[in-house]
């Protein structure tokens, strides 16, 4: 995992429509980048819907919200349409950003060990520096915790 006061690694990934989106496109704005394991799974859906339900708060603060998983662009299209998600979802099938941000880790589930995305969120400041890290973010409270932090 990356730490606070570290330069956020730039990335160029495709959104649900196949457009390239770079982190550096948003210099001058605060950006919330959240990494999640998989579209349409219970925890990831709750987290995405929490960001959706709090989206006006992010918009009022001119904060960009980006979700990243290794799902395909098509999967993201369906996820966005099904839950009316108003923010950017990026596809990272080659684990470019996922590994650069240190969220591809060993996970244990029911005694089975495998590699996967650990649900994590970064707040990146206007200069591209990591301002806050939420390691092991909780799906239900992550969006509201971030807004609380931004309101301090």
Residues identified as active-site: 44
What span, in angstroms and rounded, lies between the C-alpha atoms of 93 and 144? Answer: 28
Give me the count of residues in the chain: 152
What span, in angstroms and rounded, lies between the C-alpha atoms of 31 and 97? Answer: 15
């Amino acid at each position: 995992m990356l730490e606070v006061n570290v330069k956020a690694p730039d990335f160029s990934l495709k959104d649900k429509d196949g457009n390239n989106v770079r982190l550096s496109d948003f210099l001058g704005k605060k950006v919330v980048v959240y990494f999640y394991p998989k579209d349409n799974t219970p925890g990831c859906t709750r987290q995405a819907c929490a960001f959706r339900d709090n989206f006006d708060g992010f918009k009022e603060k001119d904060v960009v919200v980006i979700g990243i998983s290794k799902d395909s662009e098509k999967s993201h299209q369906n996820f966005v349409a099904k839950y009316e998600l108003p923010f950017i979802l990026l596809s990272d099938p080659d684990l470019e950003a996922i590994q650069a941000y240190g969220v591809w880790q060993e996970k244990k589930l029911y005694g089975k060990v495998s590699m996967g995305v650990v649900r994590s969120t970064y707040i990146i400041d206007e200069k591209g520096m990591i301002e806050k890290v939420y390691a092991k973010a909780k799906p239900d409270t992550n969006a509201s915790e971030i807004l609380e932090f931004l309101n301090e």
